[in-house]
Copies of this chain bind each other. A is one copy, B any other.
Amino acid sequence: MGDSEREGFCLWLTGLPSAGKTTLAREVGRLLVGRGWRVEVLDGDEIRKGLSADLGFDRAGREGHAARVGFVAKLLARNGVVPIVALISPYASSRARARAEIGRFVEVYVSTPIAVCEQRDVKGLYRRARQGLIKDMTGVDDPYEVPVAPEIRVDTVDRSPTDCAAFVLAELERLGLLARPPP
């Protein structure tokens, strides 16, 4: 029950574990809220509890989870909200599906190299994966398909989250998404 003037758009942050997706999502969210947008950060880990407690981290589980997140993002975006998804979403097919379903879709590739991600290792997942304690770990024993043509590519190495977020806002300006006032 909306028209395009009242629609938001979806920012979909993809990247390796510990690439900085959640931090960047929150910073970008803060900037957009400051400009009058409604923002909902859909963090992969948090939203799993609400929507996908039944799903694992194998390919089917990851695809199913991404599909549900995409469904929720669609409902938010078409009601004038900007969902900012922070999800590893390692498969190109999952991202393509979300793009097709949501329509106004901005793929943001958080391109932090694995060596840097592994140094950060915010949740200790790389360490545990290297020790063989967990499996299906993206970047270790599970693939990450690098986005071929993301709308935005963010390099977080040697740049603060604030700088990275400002860069994303500038890119959104360039894409014309902030030209109109928030719905």
Contacts and interface: CB of A to CB of B under 8 A. Distances in A.
Interface residues of A, number: 24
A96 interface: no
A157 to B, nearest CB: 28
Interface stretch (A10-18, A72-80, A129-137): A72-80
Interface stretch (A32-40, A113-121, A145-153, A169-177): A32-40
A64 interface: yes
Interface string A44-71: 0000001100110000000010011001
Interface string A19-48: 000000000010001000011110000000
A85 interface: no
A81 interface: yes
A67 to B, nearest CB: 8
Given A29-B1, A81-B81, A68 B50 contact: yes
Interface of A: 1-2, 6, 29, 33, 38-41, 50-51, 54-55, 64, 67-68, 71-72, 75-76, 78-81
Q: In the A-B complex, list the 7 residue pairs whose CB atoms are closest, starting with the nearest.
A: A50-B71, A79-B81, A38-B79, A1-B33, A1-B39, A51-B68, A72-B72
